[in-house]
Chain A
Amino acid sequence: MATAAAAKEQLFPSARRRRNLDPVILAAGAFIGVLVLVAILAPWIAPYNPNAATILAANQGVSAAHWLGTDPTGRDLLSRLIWGARLSLLGPALIVLIATALGTVLAIASAWIGGLFDQLVSRVMDLLFAFPGLVLAMIAVAMFGKGLVAPVVALSIAYTPYITRVLRSAASRERSLPYVAACYVGGVSARSICSRHLLPNVFPLLLTQSTISFGSALVTLAAVSYLGLGIQPPTATWGFMVSTGQSSILAGHPAESLEAGILIVVTVVAFNLLGDRLAGRRSLQAL
């Protein structure tokens, strides 16, 4: 009886390992989860219409009526932050999604095909590295106009090399392992080897890399908004709130910039911590 249990434990040790979760992963994950929930439920939980200006209530401090105060036109800051979460998170999510998809395909194809194709991809990625994401986004806005689409597309392209480079080296390391050779000898098609063997084995790295990219994309997109090149007012985004709040800082009302800024920082830190810890877990599991 005891030996059967021991044999089972020996064959399936994962169940025990899963139980002790890292508290940092839990905290950061919970924070991000709440943020996403808030963004989705914005119409129901925001206490005010985020765009309803009430001149009489301008620049109010923290109060029972306005938990986080109001801006110079009397709009409720809490409501604006809640509504702002939608586009502030949707933008980077789209960027990371597109960049990861593109980067993964390029990386695995490079690792598998190798040779000239690999060299070509590497050179193109080097070229893209040379352009800061913000510059690329500004060029895109200049060409296609302000809004969400142009910066998101531009930044997706700008973030692709970050994913590609890391994944390519991981995928080509996997590709050189005997299990891939065994699949090749077994007659498994190239597409199956890539999608069923290489991809799952680089997936943890893909997850951490895109999580870390998310934080960075959020800041860059906020910067685009801050420069007034993103979503146009009156729609709220956190980046744009930092920018509009700027003028009232000198007048002694820093709430808008400060609150939006803090939210951006905390969110980015949460994403980076999550990515970092996931990376740490991965290297431990490799042992």
Chain B
Amino acid sequence: MTLLEVDHLSLDLPVDREPRRIIHDVTLELDDGEAVGLVGESGAGKSMTSRAVIRLLPQNARIGGDIVFDGRSVLAMDRRLLATYRSRDVAMIFQDPKSHINPVRTVGAFLIEALVERGDRRADALAVVSELLDTVGIREIPHRLRQYPHELSGGMLQRVMIAAALAVQPRLLLADEPTTALDVTTQANVMAHLDVQRRNRGLAMLFVTHDLELAASVCDRIAVMYAGCLVEVCAASSIHDRVLHPYTAGLLASRPRVTSRTARLPVIPGRPQAAYELGEGCPFLSRCPYALDICRTTRPELRVVGSSRVACHRAEELSGCLTDGRAADRPGVHA
């Protein structure tokens, strides 16, 4: 069942009083209990897309298209409906937990806030959050509840954020680069807790990250964004075997591997384009080695090719040539 539908979403933000396009026509849906990884480089519009889902956007942003959550349009909600939606249906986990937790209140006070606000009794709320902290691997809970945010490490604080997000029993989690600021070992731990809890509770998740591998390891599907456009949506399991968009292929190939060294990394030439710089044609045109005349004149729509959806005119002919050689590194796979 479809939980969230992002329907032809576009977003303009004024810069110097001129509207500047941030997101071009993004269409994406999330099923109940499904995890989708929204992957892209900086400025690709992935964060803004996730923020649009809870209407957490600058005042002067102009939104086009629609966002539908469980049959209701988020963009049409009035203040009260929006407040209920934000507090019960979705929860957000941010990149920098330190700046999203009030530094002068204890961790306990932060955790029970939403529950008490909703009308729970303090003692009940404390019991709920204590249990949640336990599930995300935090020990000495009574002590932790009395501590202040600055007394916890980054990884622990991020797990507190996850507990806070789970406390309101939402149906959708929005995770915006939740582990980017953490060390790798801490990242693995935090991601594992997030993943286990999400699966156990059957929550849907929109996971925003720049790390394709990380997204592939915890998500069901991957949506790749480039310059404010969605260029490819595919199953996470097939990301190494069958990528269809030249950008996704380039992204996978240009990341150095820990298992082996290449004489020269394959690179995507040029620099990432900003959404507002795009011309008529394909967003990836200026960096694409396979560009044809049609790519210059017509922007490709996202369309179904095989089991994926891809926005590339040449998807059919290129399928197969773009396959990432790294699949061979995977244990147990010898093609």
Contacts and interface: CB of A to CB of B under 8 A. Distances in A.
Instruction: Say if the two chains contact directly (CB < 8 Å).
Output: yes
Interface of A: 6, 17, 20
**What size tier do the contact residues of chain B reach?**
under 10
A14 to B, nearest CB: 12
Nearest to A19: B16
3 contacts: A6-B277, A17-B16, A20-B16
Nearest to B17: A20
Contacts of B16: 17, 20
A17 B16 CA distance: 8
Nearest to B277: A6
A20 B16 CA distance: 9
Interface string B265-280: 0000000000001000
A20 B15 CA distance: 13
A79 B295 CA distance: 75
Interface string B246-261: 0000000000000000
Interface string B1-29: 00000000000000010000000000000
Contacts of A6: 277
Nearest to B274: A10
A4 to B, nearest CB: 14
A17 B17 CA distance: 12
Contacts of B277: 6
Nearest to A17: B16
B273 to A, nearest CB: 11
**Nearest 3 CB-CB pairings of A with B:** A20-B16, A17-B16, A6-B277
A6 B286 CA distance: 14
A6 B279 CA distance: 12
A155 B109 CA distance: 51
A17 B277 CA distance: 18
A20 B18 CA distance: 13
B270 to A, nearest CB: 12
A277 to B, nearest CB: 17
Interface in B193-233: none
Interface string B40-62: 00000000000000000000000
Nearest to A6: B277
Nearest to A2: B279
B278 to A, nearest CB: 12
A6 B277 CA distance: 9
Interface in B271-300: 277
Contacts of A17: 16
A6 B274 CA distance: 13
Contacts of A20: 16
Nearest to A10: B277
A16 to B, nearest CB: 8
